[in-house]
Structure 1
Amino acid sequence: MAVIHLRIPFSENFPVSFAFGAIPDSEEIKRKYRQWRMVRHNGIDYDLPEGTSVLVTAAGTVIQSGDNGGFGISVTIQHLWGKVYMLTFEKSARLWGIG
């Protein structure tokens, strides 16, 4: 099995706001999880202040960026080993384009 090396997507220390495998308390989020056929959180959310630069976790190509409906504003990056989804619920986020 190949080893995948990932970086933290920012250069400072910020707290995890919702851990991988966590079960949400919010009934609204639980409803969305049921729609998406999820039981537990399949990512890691960090609490970053507005204006913080977010970096890619590994080399790849941006294949989607912009408003993604129920996911908020998001960026999807295709890596050789799979996809990484980064998103924000701030409508003022500035995103790079596809490519």
Structure 2
Amino acid sequence: MTFYIKDYALYTETETDSPVLKGIKENPHVYVTLGGNADAADQLEVTGEIEVVTDQDIIDWLTQQKGPLTVATDIVMLKVMALKVKLVGE
């Protein structure tokens, strides 16, 4: 997943019929690791709560970030509000 940051929240998109949405309703807690690939020695570990956002302004903002040809027409946004952020490095 690719995350975009706006107003101190992480956003990513998913399709409206994704099975991920059912899991979010049952358990909104999430653990996200950012970075940590072969090129990065440090990574961020984010513990937070996730919510589904259908606000058209946020979807339009994502379209501006990614480009209109890369955003599906039947999407909702997933918003991660961090409860805890930890920097982990070598």
Q: Do both share a fold (TM > 0.5)? A: no
RCO higher in structure (CA 8 A, sep ≥6): 2
Scaled by the length of structure 2, the TM-score of the pair is 0.28
Greater helix proportion:
2
Q: Could you tell me the TM-score, scaled by structure 1's length? A: 0.26
